[in-house]
Structure 1
Amino acid sequence: MHGAVARTALTIGFAAALSASLQGCFVALAGAAGGSALVATDRRTVGSQTEDREIQVKALSDLTKNLPDTSHINVAVFNQRVLLTGEVPDEGSKQKAEALTRAIANVGSVVNELAVLPASSFSSRANDSYLEGRVKGELVAYKDISANNFKVVSERGIVYLMGLVTPDEGSIAADATSKVTGVQKVVKVYQYIQPGQKAVPAVAATSAPTPVNADEEPTVGAVPDASVSSRPIN
């Protein structure tokens, strides 16, 4: 029964990503006609945004088909960097998930944050969705950054921040996130850019992309006076 629930969660995630991909095609076309503010404010090129959606759909499909039913995996993609979060039953499944993801065309790097744990409960996932909304709302309130430049992912109270940002923007967002009630830790999975830099092409993929460990990036606990340092993940 538990495995069926986990499988259903993965299937729902795949369907949601597919829907987002189809919607993304429409948004990209609207942007070409001068109608999409979201695409216009994204620092990725339109091509990179489309590629990210395709990578996400492919990764969810491959992981659903090839990992145990008890796995619960979320896939977030930004500028060809793939973040894997969730839970898998054993270390072999964690490594297999990374290998499957790295094998997908145009993946630049993989941040494997899967935990070898039982699949999270429905209430835990609901709380993560709530935290994502709270963090996004918090980022909107800061005038020195644009919330549109950040992708927010929450897993078991750990919040991951992705995006093409300057070091200052990244620090502001991480510090703001750390102050949101319920956030256990903030992990920065940024790709840094220069101030004033606009659209940024996706990173060049190689035949064997280098995996990235988010533990190399500084983290900060959810305390009001936390100091946040920044170091790019290359």
Structure 2
Amino acid sequence: MTRPFTRFALAALAAASLAATLAACAPLVLGGAAVGTIMAVDRRTSGAQVEDEGIDLRAGARVRDALGDRVHVNVNSYNRQVLLTGEVPSEREKQQVEQLVSRVENVRSVVNELGVMGASTLAQRSSDALVTGKVKASLVDDRELSAGAFRVVTERGTTYLMGRVTQREAERATSIARSVGGVQKVVRLFEIISEEELRRIAPPPAKAASGPTVTQ
């Protein structure tokens, strides 16, 4: 049975993702309508987070200046690995976008998932946003995962999972995403860390101290 928090989180996350989609109808989307870090907890260093934000902005500006509204490109950088999703009219533009982004300062690698086809419709982007909201809510609801360690991107029914996670967490998150209605395919772009490293960067919460028992 779905717990009340799940229903609340699903509604909130899906609504937020959909609102972002409707507000970001320009051909170039930075961070994407179907993208987002789920919680404040983030396993990247503060420096890496700042670098990723800069990469998103600079890469987006370069693509916009070079190709304008001829393309619909979503730029998402996580720990300096850039995921490109969206649509372009030809293979030439697909390669051009990748070259432009790869030259941006601090970019470590580029995963080019651009589709050579017409731009997706508002209805398709709204559907992707709702799917992303459901995936994120499902990750939040799972007691075995730290949802803030994941970034979720959905494009034309394909859900991309990014983050610094252990193999155990990667398998669990993939299984959860595949079970969500509307997800046609899951692509994993994880940076795998060891359980030991996880304990160093994300120690378990301290147990609350037990105080004296007061009787009346």
Q: Taking structure 1 as the reference length, what is the TM-score of the superposition?
A: 0.69
Partner residue in 1 for 2:178: 178
CA distance in 2, matches of 1:8, 1:176: 29
Q: CA RMSD in A?
A: 2.0
Q: Is the 8 A contact 1:59 1:104 kept in 2?
A: yes
> Match of 1:163, SS?
strand
* 1:163 and 2:180 aligned: no
* 1:43 and 2:43 aligned: yes
Distance 1:199 1:110, change over 3 A: farther
> Match of 1:69, SS?
helix
Partner residue in 2 for 1:193: 193
C-alpha displacement of 1:114: 0.4
* 1:9 and 2:26 aligned: yes
C-alpha displacement of 1:199: 4.6
Partner residue in 2 for 1:224: none
Partner residue in 2 for 1:94: 94
C-alpha displacement of 1:135: 0.3
C-alpha displacement of 1:8: 5.5
Distance 1:8 1:133, change over 3 A: closer
CA distance in 1, matches of 2:85, 2:129: 14
Q: Is the 8 A contact 1:45 1:199 kept in 2?
A: no
> Match of 2:110, SS?
strand
How many matched pairs?
Answer: 171
C-alpha displacement of 1:68: 5.2
C-alpha displacement of 1:69: 2.1
Percent of aligned pairs with the same residue? Answer: 42
* 1:119 and 2:105 aligned: no
CA distance in 2, matches of 1:10, 1:62: 13
1:214-225 counterparts in 2 under 5 A?
none
Partner residue in 2 for 1:61: 61
Deviations 1:83-130 (A, max 9, x none): 000100000000000000000011000000001010000000011111
Unaligned runs of 5+ in 2: 1-23, 33-38, 203-216
> Match of 1:62, SS?
helix
CA distance in 1, matches of 2:145, 2:172: 8
> Match of 1:118, SS?
coil
1:142-161 counterparts in 2 under 5 A?
142-161=142-161
Q: Is the 8 A contact 1:71 1:88 kept in 2?
A: yes
Deviations 1:48-105 (A, max 9, x none): 0000000001111111111252311101110000000010000000000000000001
Deviations 1:189-210 (A, max 9, x none): 111111142459xxxxxxxxxx
C-alpha displacement of 1:143: 1.0
Q: Taking structure 2 as the reference length, what is the TM-score of the superposition?
A: 0.75
Q: Which moved more, 1:149-158 or 1:56-65?
A: 56-65
Unaligned runs of 5+ in 1: 1-6, 18-36, 201-234
Higher alpha-carbon Rg: 2
What stretches of structure 1 move > 2 A for 4+ residues in a row? none
Aligned residue type for 2:100: L
> Match of 2:84, SS?
strand
